[in-house]
């Protein structure tokens, strides 16, 4: 896809979005989507590090079966804060708020998002929510688990439940506003010639994500408010002692929090579609199926929440329906995997850092997906629910999936965002470390889970120590794999080689403008007259 009027290949002498003002104010009051993306990138990196520290505490404690490193309450706080920080303050904003914010306006050929000031407001809401989170972390912590199950959270816990829920509540609005902004931008601000069928799959994925953010997040916001009301004023919603129903909380909570796992994975899938095509130098296989599967996931994803509750006391018949729909939602995810694989067929493949991460994603997400099918099977869930099998499953999806996709995209667009090239060799080394460390950490947890190790256990029977030690060793390698990019990427900002406009010979509007882009993105209005992913020279309409 090239823009007829804008094909500057070399960086212009003029200012770009990074050099357009150096004062703190020019950053903190910016309405430029690219600068806001950078603000988000810095903030989520801090939260990722914080969540990583909590994870390290958990893994260290589990080195020994007795639970002797910290007391049970501290341990419970560690895994709770790991979950809260990673989910609400890292995974949910990760790709959309950084790469999405930076790229969506450019990919649709626009100057900015539809509502630049609201975009800035989103970031501030996120920061306010994050401040609640930090306040909780320093003022004694929370130990309800990130799921806030009632009546434990609303009646029994002695920790900072309300402050944490407020944090998630406020950050939720940041997510809603980002979704709104993306939807309006994608509908209204596409350049002439940029039809829906020419949108990059990254944009399609974000469109589907935004729908979930907009429709789902208000539900969790209300749920958290009800829980806070019950806790603060003893108004009975969920605590049976007050006439409430504890399972109702779970229904409301998962009505959002299951779709939220798609908020946390769809944008990553968008990244993979861009990276696989570029590094295979080939048009995408099954464009409509990949785009459509994003929408199918967004819609079906709203009707499967009960698969978290097979053992929770929901009606057995409701469970049957939820199980069936959960099996169905596995299909669109599988469709994507097959289409990416087919895209590589007869390509011209280079396995550079972003592609290494993307291939890692395909492998690990496949494992996350098939183990999800196991958990969707009601009988297996009788045994596996609330064990380490579930812990392993969702880390395969969230870390093996989303975090790897984020790393892939971050490396892929790093030259575009910073104007600098990162050292390729270090990129590959850390990608391999992440992949190996990840498998070492989480594969043993599948075995632990099948043997019956419950999750959220501070101490455990001795016979499981070997697997826990393996997992902790793996986690150390994984951590190293994440520390390295923090170092070499930061280094590259100051010392890296200057990047050209299109260092990877990629297609897409963002590669037609200088690196880093000027504040207004495109010097002149854009007209799109090319198909999406026009990498190939020879057109083959259908394979079979």
Partner 1 sequence: MNEKTLPLLPESASNLSPQIDALMMAELGFSVFFSILIFVLVTVFAIKFRRKSDYDVTPHIHGSLILELGWSLLPFAMILGFFVWGTTVYFKAYAIQPNDAMEIFVTGKQWMWKVQHPEGPREINELHVPVGRALKFTMISEDVIHSYYIPAFRLKRDVLPGRYTTMYVTPTKVGKFHLFCAEYCGTQHSGMIGTVYVQEQSDYEKWVAGGDESMSARGEALFGQYGCVTCHLPDGKGRGPSLVGVYNSNVKLQGGNLVKADDAYLRESILNPRAKVVDTYQSIMPTFQGQISEEGLLQIIAYIKSLEKEEGGQQ
The Cα–Cα gap between 327 and 77 comes to 34
CB-based burial, 107-125: b 16+ in 10 Å, e otherwise = bbbbbbbbbbebbbbbbeb
Query: Residue for token digits 């009988």?
Result: 379
Token digits for 382?
Answer: 């009788």
Partner whose binding site includes residue 341, from Cu ion, partner 1, none (CB under 5 to 8 Å by kind): partner 1
Partner whose binding site includes residue 258, from Cu ion, partner 1, none (CB under 5 to 8 Å by kind): Cu ion
Toward partner 1, which CB reaches closer, 454 or 525?
A: 454
What is residue 22's three-state secondary structure? Answer: coil
As measured in angstroms, the least distance from the Cβ of 161 to partner 1 is 12
As measured in angstroms, the least distance from the Cβ of 387 to partner 1 is 7
Toward partner 1, which CB reaches closer, 256 or 310?
A: 310
The Cα–Cα gap between 59 and 205 comes to 34
Other CB atoms within 10 Å distance of the CB of residue 523: 14
Task: Name residues contacting Cu ion, limited to 268-327 (CB under 5 A).
Answer: none
Toward partner 1, which CB reaches closer, 245 or 500?
A: 245
Phi-psi category of 461—alpha, beta or left, where left has phi over 0 and alpha has psi -120 to 50? beta
Toward partner 1, which CB reaches closer, 382 or 487?
A: 382
As measured in angstroms, the least distance from the Cβ of 203 to partner 1 is 19
The Cα–Cα gap between 145 and 544 comes to 50
Toward Cu ion, which CB reaches closer, 289 or 303?
A: 303
As measured in angstroms, the least distance from the Cβ of 247 to partner 1 is 7
Beta bridge pairs of residue 317: none
Q: Using DSSP bridges, classify how beta strands 497-498 and 420-421 pair: parallel, antiparallel or unpaired.
A: antiparallel
The Cα–Cα gap between 267 and 20 comes to 29
Give the number of residues in contact with Cu ion, rule: CB under 5 A.
1
Toward partner 1, which CB reaches closer, 26 or 505?
A: 505
Partner whose binding site includes residue 393, from partner 1, Cu ion, none (CB under 5 to 8 Å by kind): none
As measured in angstroms, the least distance from the Cβ of 64 to partner 1 is 13
Task: Name residues contacting Cu ion, limited to 240-279 (CB under 5 A).
Answer: 258
Task: State phi, psi for 473 to the nearest 5 degrees.
Answer: -60, -45
As measured in angstroms, the least distance from the Cβ of 44 to Cu ion is 23
The Cα–Cα gap between 447 and 464 comes to 10
Partner whose binding site includes residue 280, from Cu ion, partner 1, none (CB under 5 to 8 Å by kind): partner 1
Partner whose binding site includes residue 423, from partner 1, Cu ion, none (CB under 5 to 8 Å by kind): none
Partner whose binding site includes residue 387, from partner 1, Cu ion, none (CB under 5 to 8 Å by kind): partner 1
Toward Cu ion, which CB reaches closer, 198 or 258?
A: 258
Toward Cu ion, which CB reaches closer, 84 or 506?
A: 84
Partner whose binding site includes residue 440, from partner 1, Cu ion, none (CB under 5 to 8 Å by kind): none
DSSP code at position 454: B
Residues in contact with 490: Cβ distance below 8 Å, sequence separation at least 6, in sequence order? none
Partner whose binding site includes residue 451, from partner 1, Cu ion, none (CB under 5 to 8 Å by kind): partner 1
Q: Are 350 and 279 in contact (CB under 8 A)?
A: yes
- Helix segments in 99-200, DSSP class H: 101-107, 116-138, 161-188
As measured in angstroms, the least distance from the Cβ of 394 to Cu ion is 9
| 259: nearest Cα among 293, 217, 316 | 217
As measured in angstroms, the least distance from the Cβ of 261 to Cu ion is 6
Partner whose binding site includes residue 500, from partner 1, Cu ion, none (CB under 5 to 8 Å by kind): none
Per-residue binding letters, 205-244, with Cu ion (x by CB under 5 A): ----------------------------------------
Toward partner 1, which CB reaches closer, 116 or 531?
A: 531
The Cα–Cα gap between 69 and 92 comes to 31
Instruction: Output the residue with the shortest Cβ distance to Cu ion.
Output: 258
- Helix segments in 139-236, DSSP class H: 161-188, 201-233
As measured in angstroms, the least distance from the Cβ of 57 to partner 1 is 16
As measured in angstroms, the least distance from the Cβ of 20 to partner 1 is 34
Phi-psi category of 286—alpha, beta or left, where left has phi over 0 and alpha has psi -120 to 50? left
Q: Are 57 and 78 in contact (CB under 8 A)?
A: yes
DSSP code at position 265: T
Binding status of residue 458 toward Cu ion by CB under 5 A: no
DSSP code at position 503: T
Toward partner 1, which CB reaches closer, 46 or 312?
A: 312
As measured in angstroms, the least distance from the Cβ of 243 to Cu ion is 24
As measured in angstroms, the least distance from the Cβ of 385 to partner 1 is 7
Q: Are 267 and 99 in contact (CB under 8 A)?
A: yes
Partner whose binding site includes residue 469, from partner 1, Cu ion, none (CB under 5 to 8 Å by kind): none
Partner whose binding site includes residue 2, from Cu ion, partner 1, none (CB under 5 to 8 Å by kind): none
The Cα–Cα gap between 289 and 333 comes to 10
Toward Cu ion, which CB reaches closer, 258 or 281?
A: 258
Toward Cu ion, which CB reaches closer, 258 or 468?
A: 258
Token digits for 50?
Answer: 């914080």
Residues that bind Cu ion (CB under 5 A): 258
């Amino acid at each position: 896809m090239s823009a007829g009027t804008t094909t500057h290949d070399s960086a212009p002498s003029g200012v770009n979005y990074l050099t357009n003002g150096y004062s703190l104010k020019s950053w903190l009051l910016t309405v430029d989507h690219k600068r806001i993306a950078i603000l988000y990138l810095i903030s989520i990196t801090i939260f990722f590090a914080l969540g990583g520290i909590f994870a390290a505490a958990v893994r260290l404690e589990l080195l020994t079966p007795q639970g002797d490193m910290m007391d049970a309450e501290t341990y419970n706080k560690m895994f709770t804060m790991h979950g809260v920080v990673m989910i609400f303050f890292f995974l949910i904003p990760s790709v959309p708020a950084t790469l999405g914010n930076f790229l969506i306006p450019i990919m649709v050929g626009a100057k900015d998002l539809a509502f630049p000031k609201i975009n800035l407001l989103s970031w501030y809401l996120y920061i306010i929510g994050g401040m609640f989170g930090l306040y909780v972390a320093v003022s004694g912590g929370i130990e309800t688990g990130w799921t806030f199950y009632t009546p434990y959270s609303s009646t029994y816990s002695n920790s900072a439940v309300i402050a944490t829920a407020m944090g998630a509540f406020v950050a939720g609005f940041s997510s809603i506003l980002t979704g709104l902004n993306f939807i309006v931008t994608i509908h209204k601000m596409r350049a002439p010639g940029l039809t829906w069928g020419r949108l990059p799959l990254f944009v399609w994925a974000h469109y589907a994500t935004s729908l979930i953010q907009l429709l789902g997040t208000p539900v969790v916001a209300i749920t958290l408010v009800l829980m806070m009301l019950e806790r603060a004023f003893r108004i009975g919603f969920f605590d049976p002692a007050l006439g409430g129903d504890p399972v109702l909380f779970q229904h409301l909570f998962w009505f959002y929090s299951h779709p939220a796992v798609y908020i946390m994975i769809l944008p990553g899938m968008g990244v993979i579609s861009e990276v696989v095509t570029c590094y295979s130098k080939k048009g995408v296989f099954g464009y409509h199926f990949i785009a459509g599967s994003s929408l199918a996931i967004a819609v079906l994803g709203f009707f499967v929440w009960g698969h978290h509750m097979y053992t929770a006391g929901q009606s057995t018949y409701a469970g049957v329906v939820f199980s069936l729909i959960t099996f169905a939602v596995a299909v669109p995810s599988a469709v994507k995997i097959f289409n990416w694989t087919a895209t590589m067929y007869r390509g011209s493949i280079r396995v550079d850092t972003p592609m290494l991460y993307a291939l890692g994603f395909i492998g690990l997400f496949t494992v996350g997906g098939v183990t999800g099918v196991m958990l969707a099977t009601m009988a297996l869930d009788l045994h596996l629910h609330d064990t380490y099998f579930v812990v392993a499953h969702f880390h395969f999806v969230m870390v093996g999936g989303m975090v790897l996709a984020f790393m892939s995209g971050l490396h892929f667009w790093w030259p575009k965002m910073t104007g600098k090239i990162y050292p390729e060799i270090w990129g590959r080394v850390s990608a391999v470390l992440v992949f190996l460390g990840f498998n070492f950490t989480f594969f043993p947890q599948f075995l632990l889970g099948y043997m019956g190790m419950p999750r959220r256990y501070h101490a455990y029977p001795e016979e499981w120590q070997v697997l826990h030690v393996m997992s902790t060793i793996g986690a150390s390698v994984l951590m190293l794999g994440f520390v390295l990019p923090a170092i070499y990427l930061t280094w590259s900002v100051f010392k890296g080689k200057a990047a050209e406009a299109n260092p990877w010979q990629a297609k897409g509007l963002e590669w037609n403008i200088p690196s880093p882009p000027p504040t207004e993105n495109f010097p002149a209005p854009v007209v799109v007259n090319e198909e999406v992913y026009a990498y190939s020279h020879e057109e083959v309409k259908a394979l079979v």
